[in-house]
Amino acid sequence: MLRYPSLRAPLDWLFFLCVIVLTADVLVPEIFGNGKTKDYPLWYWAGQQVLHGRDLYPSDPNAQFEFIYPPLPAVLLAVPAWFGKIPLYLCLSAINAVAWWMTAQFSNAMTGAGSAPGPWLFALPSFVTITSIFDMYDLGQPNLMLLALMLYGFWLLRDARPWFAGSMFALAIAIKVFPIAVLPYLVWRRQWKAVAGTLVFLLVFLFVLPAPIRGFDHNIAELKTWYRGMVASSSEKGFGQRDEQNWSWVNQSIIAVTHRLTRPVNYNQDDPNKPARTMNVIDVGFRTANLIVAAVSLAIGFGFLAVMPPASRRTERSDAEELGILFCLMTVASPLARQYYFMWLFFPMTVLMHRAALDPRPSVRIGTWRLLACAGILLLLALPLFPIDLQAWGNNLAATAVLAAGLVWHIRHPPPALSPPAGRLQPDVNSAPS
């Protein structure tokens, strides 16, 4: 079902047009204006630091980091950064274009619907997530590329290539850590070779690959500094070098929304010139709020395990719904989940759109469209024309919950007339079923 873009397909022409427009948003300010802003200058700076052998992080892990990612992304950025800013920006835009196309390809091919989507159904997820796709280009964030890597990993698992799949998962984790939430899922599904591949390649990407360029000792020292400053730092003020964002309305993660609801934290702290705003419904301490986060996370995790069908009842359809729930959970489990993180809802929405269009039960089709509309309305509350007070309550988190609930319903209520064969995403041959 996977294919290259075709000049004979009208919607593919629309894709090319969008890519040109979005790339122009990146290049025009740099060529004809005062320079592209957002994260693009940071990527160039990181690449130049590698090229000139300079440090990526301050020696003090408590100091403010400019670059908050592991060393590997900086090493990868150094290659196009050697040619200058415009080649680097053009390269990042091209990667986003490929990631966008492949995300749509994998998402539509992995829904387990049993039939190929028509062109409009194929393009619909891109239409409804176009603002998030714009953010990927405009901000220069890698989340769309990470989504494509993760989907490719699960595509490889379908084709019984677990070690290669693990390399894709490891690359995503080594670039931006939050996809590490895939590991508990792989363990539960007894995908031991994929788990081993992920861990082995993660060591390669973090320790081996940067060593010839950065020096082994230098790379180890930077990894330690990054870990202390980003992963091991947590307090009432925040975590991970971005205290002003952690409890702010811009963060829609389970952790942030729970803390805003349980502690009198200022969710408007990203703008120090405005008065503090709180929204807590109870007043507990930082430690107690963390315990509530842990309890909520465990409840969600055990709930996910409860709805996952055993190996004997798995189908390609149920695997798609299961992975859709997983992508929802990985998105909101990240400690920092800004607006562009919800680009990862592309796959869950694609699965539900296929159910809404192709399910043999008319009432289910109507109900699924209504559920998608409800999630869409919640996501629209993130537009600037709505007050931040609404977004502080977690509109994106609520939309994710709605999508996950719809997938749970479908996984528990498959069409009775359909009994497709077991899907290819199966545990290793020598392992016991879950």
Residue 393 has a pLDDT of: 94
Whether the CB-CB separation of 361 and 415 falls below 8 Å is answered with: yes
pLDDT for 242 equals 67
User: What is the C-alpha to C-alpha distance for residues 278 and 265, in angstroms, rounded to an integer?
Assistant: 6
Task: Determine the Cα–Cα distance for residues 374 and 380; give it in Å rounded to an integer.
Answer: 10
Q: Is 353 exposed, middle or buried (0-12, 13-18, 19+ CB in 10 A)?
A: buried
Instruction: Say what the pLDDT of residue 216 is.
Output: 93
Question: 94 by DSSP, 3-state: which?
Answer: helix
String of DSSP letters for 203-229: HIIIIITTHHHH-HHHHHHHHHHHIII
Determine phi and psi for 195, rounding to 5 degrees. -60, -50
Nearest to 104 by CA among 129, 119, 123, 127: 123
Query: Locate tokens 């990526």: which residue?
Result: 56
Mean pLDDT split into 10-residue runs, the chain, 434 residues: 85 95 97 93 97 92 86 96 97 97 97 90 96 96 97 96 97 95 96 97 96 93 90 70 78 94 87 82 94 96 95 93 97 93 97 96 97 97 90 96 98 77 44 36
DSSP state of 386: S
Give which of 132, 47, 136, 32 is closest to 93, Cα–Cα. 136
Estimate the crossing angle of helix 162-175 against helix 143-158, to 10 degrees. Answer: 170
Long-range pairs for 229-232 at CB < 8 Å and ≥24 separation?
A: 229/57, 229/61, 229/62, 229/63, 229/65, 229/68, 230/65, 230/68, 230/177, 231/177, 232/61
Query: Position of tokens 């440090």?
Result: 55
What is the DSSP code string of 111-126? S--SSPPPHHHHHHHH
CA–CA dist 377, 373 (Å, integer): 6
Residues 142 and 175: beta-carbon distance below 8 Å: yes
User: Which one, of 219, 65, 46, 39, lies nearest residue 137 by Cα?
Assistant: 39
The phi and psi torsions of 253 (rounded to 5 degrees) equal: -75, 165
Return the sign of the alpha-carbon dihedral for residues 204, 177, 166, 102: negative
- Those residues with Cβ within 8 angstroms of residue 344's Cβ, 6 or more apart along the chain or in another chain: 143, 147, 327, 328, 330, 331
> How many Cα atoms sit within 13 Å of 228 on the Cβ side?
14
